[in-house]
Chains A and B, each alone.
Chain A
Amino acid sequence: MIYSGQTGITYILESQLGAGGEGIVYSLYGNDQFVAKIYKKEKFHSDSERKTMERKLKTMISMNVPVALDGIIRLAWPQDILYDNHVMAGFIMPKIETTYKLFDIYRGGKNSVRAKLYPNYTWKYAAQFAYHLAWVVAHLHSRDIVIGDFNQNNIAVDPVFNTIILIDCDSFDITDPKTGEHFPCTVGLPEMLAPELQDVGSLSKGHFSKESDNFSLAIHIFRLLMDNADPFGGIITVDGSASVSDIPANRAIVNGECAYVRNVPGKRIPDWSPKMEMLPGDLMKLFKKTFYYTAVNAKRKKNNRATAKEWCDALKPLGAPEPNPHLKTCTHNRLHVYPAHNKTCPWCRTQIKKTTRISKRHRRYRYLLAGVVFLVAAGTAVMYLQGIHPVTAVQSWIKEIPTLLDSSDDSSDRSSEVLKETNAEETNLSEYIIPDSNSRYLTENDLEGLSQDEVCLARNEIFARYGRKFRTDWIRDYFLSTSWYEEQYEPDEFDAISNDIFNEYEKENIRIIVAYEAKMGYQ
């Protein structure tokens, strides 16, 4: 397929690289830095729609927006228009080779894409990705460019330079700086839309703005920093029968029902989610500015929303190279990094809550958890642009961005990180008298080296794994001093159901330990 550009250059399209909802992306013959996007016929309902898109692309190209900032591509901005027999068919844009998206960074867990991409991922990475995102938005806003459909599918993650790239730029909300013609963004992912855009019916009647971008930006940053929690989500406590899906879904956004920044009757923050207080005060304040509103004042308060520049200022210190006085590392797990004002590790707390909730079943399906295959393309790279839009005249604050995640975190120090991680695991195991008393049958040999008190604790440890409370003070104090124990069940409550909860190893091991204690005269 042959197309001609604005100035008559000929582009030869080679092979299809991917297809989206409204267009197909092709590689270019003899050019590995750019690609072509050809619109599907059904995108345009009339010739005039196609003409409008052509004017929009012309405007975008004439705005001379550098696709690379600090030498790294961060925008799939249109570079040339493709014509087929004088009819606009698509455009040329820089090639973005990554298949990772921002939600791959939101999502943690052992089998996650993130765990494969960044085995040493910590909260500091989250803060750095958030910073990069805010920084690119600040750059666009400084040029009066509105993103509009600012959702996680349109934010690619570059795993080479560890930064983000905004794709689908042709859907941006653009105003021609010369003629003033407005090319509105008309699409949006509902879960990302600001309250003023939630109830407009059709988005073509809505009006995207820097403020609506700021709202979406805050959701992205919230998910990054808060372990992928939904700022408008939570446990509904009003009435057991009212299901979450019965509630018009995005009403929470319309009504400003963010339980993290204000008391929302009938809603509480889930146990697995970190608490807002975990965040440094200035970040908390920015979330409050953005998410503290009600249905009545939502529109009036949209100007209160934290700006991209404000996020940059608040996030930047967290991403600074080590030693970073703003961050602490947990003594039990080197991968637990958190803001320095926290007295205890917030990740240990939420992790315990997560595991106790599922621990009852966990053992039974552990074997099923093996190997999840993600079809993720390997060998990603980013192309530098040369010659088209030289990176010039960037404002001074742009240069302040750390272009890479901390190298000490990421690569050069990796061997020592691995070492520390292993130690951390040992520390955790050493907090048990018999770490595997839930997964194998004990023998007297296991107990012979233990003192009377230790044998007693070994027996109670089997109960403590499930969060049973203890009446005896010294036993209670002992378990409370471990990082893994959390009180959950009253003793009577637990004992009534323990038979259903314990597995065969645990039941048998309790018998073995009781018999041993009797034999030794401990009881």
Chain B
Amino acid sequence: MPVQFTTDPLPITNQGERHVPAVILVDISGSMGGIPINELNQGLIEFGTALHEDSLALGRAEVCIISFNSSVQTEMSFRPAADYEAPVLSASGLTSMNEAIEAALDAIESRKAEYRAQGVSYYRPWLFLLTDGAPTDNEKEHSARTRLQNAISNKKVVYMPMGIGEHADTGKLQSYYPNDAQTRPVLKASAQNFKEAFVWLSQSLGVVSQSDPNVSDQVQLPPTPSIITVGI
């Protein structure tokens, strides 16, 4: 199924500053219904509020939101963090996570092409992936995994998976790391209480946006909130 674009990308602002592009990939399959989807929507609102708390980062971060269920939707194409608007998502359907991963990598590539054309420098893009289950589009898994593993190995993307609830397949989320990865961090939280993860994500982007791009492997991110555990 082709990816639907509900919005066009917005133009890049502050081209003279190094940008941090981030794709937020969120699971809106049927199992997310009820409290989890409300928590997700609230998290996306608080993400926007948190972005505004760091005015240097606000001019440097760029965000794209892609959701996936039986299909993959670009809820918000890449745009400056200052123009961020939280989408309102509802849950139904299956879990096309692999297709979504490829859509996220595509979105990153096309935004990077735009950066290059305008001479905008950038930090390594972020791919934040939130799911409460396991992918159902298994036929696409090989291709998605290969692409994501390569992107991580070649330092083209920072992969930040998060599993919520008991049914999240964290082993699967970890399998998208390259085979020779030394650590495979995956964030975990209850499906009823995870929205703070988005505030943490915003703060992390803020830290990255002022870091030394030479050592982006070693950037010290803010501590994760207590509701989140980190599996390695």
Residues of A at the B interface (CB closer than 8 Å) are: 99, 101, 103-104, 106-107, 109, 111-113, 152-153, 189-191, 223, 226-230, 233-236, 240, 243-246, 248-250, 268-273, 357-358, 361-362, 364-365, 368-369, 372-376
Contacts and interface: CB of A to CB of B under 8 A. Distances in A.
B77 to A, nearest CB: 9
Given A235-B119, A375-B52, A223 B11 contact: no
B16 interface: yes
A227 B16 contact: yes
Given A99-B55, A270-B119, A272-B118, 13 more contacts: A107-B59, A113-B55, A190-B214, A223-B16, A233-B121, A245-B123, A249-B214, A357-B118, A361-B9, A365-B10, A368-B8, A375-B52, A375-B53
Contacts of B118: 235, 270-272, 357
Given A233-B16, A369-B83, A245 B55 contact: no
Given A104-B55, A375-B52, A365 B115 contact: no
Contact of B14 (A107, A270, A361, A364): A107
A271 B7 CA distance: 26
Closest 8 CB pairs of A and B: A249-B213, A270-B119, A235-B119, A190-B212, A228-B16, A229-B16, A375-B52, A358-B11
Contacts of B59: 103, 107
A80 B171 CA distance: 55
Contact of A368 (B7, B117, B155): B7
A361 B5 CA distance: 14
B212 A245 contact: no
B90 interface: no
Contacts of A364: 8
Contact of A250 (B10, B82, B212): B212
A372 B53 CA distance: 14
Nearest to B124: A245
Contacts of A235: 116-119
Q: How large is the interface on B (under 10, 10 to 19, 20 to 34, 35 or more residues)?
A: 35 or more
Given A107-B14, A249-B213, A244 B8 contact: no
B52 to A, nearest CB: 4
Given A361-B8, A372-B83, A190 B213 contact: yes
Contacts of B120: 233, 244, 270
5 contacts: A190-B212, A230-B17, A249-B121, A270-B118, A372-B82
Nearest to B7: A368
Interface string B178-199: 0000000000000000000000
Given A107-B59, A248-B214, A373-B52, A233 B13 contact: no
Contacts of B117: 235
Contacts of A249: 18, 121, 212-214
B13 A250 contact: no
Nearest to A229: B16
A431 B102 CA distance: 47
Contacts of A152: 56
Contact of B18 (A191, A234, A361, A362): A191
Nearest to B125: A245
A407 to B, nearest CB: 28
Interface in B192-232: 210-214
B210 A189 contact: yes
Of the candidates A101, A191, A364, the one having the most CB atoms from chain B within 10 angstroms of its own CB is A191
A350 B8 CA distance: 24
B121 A245 contact: yes
Given A111-B82, A249-B121, A272-B118, A101 B10 contact: no
B15 A361 contact: no
B14 A228 contact: yes
A113 B82 CA distance: 11
Contact of A374 (B17, B82, B122, B213): B82
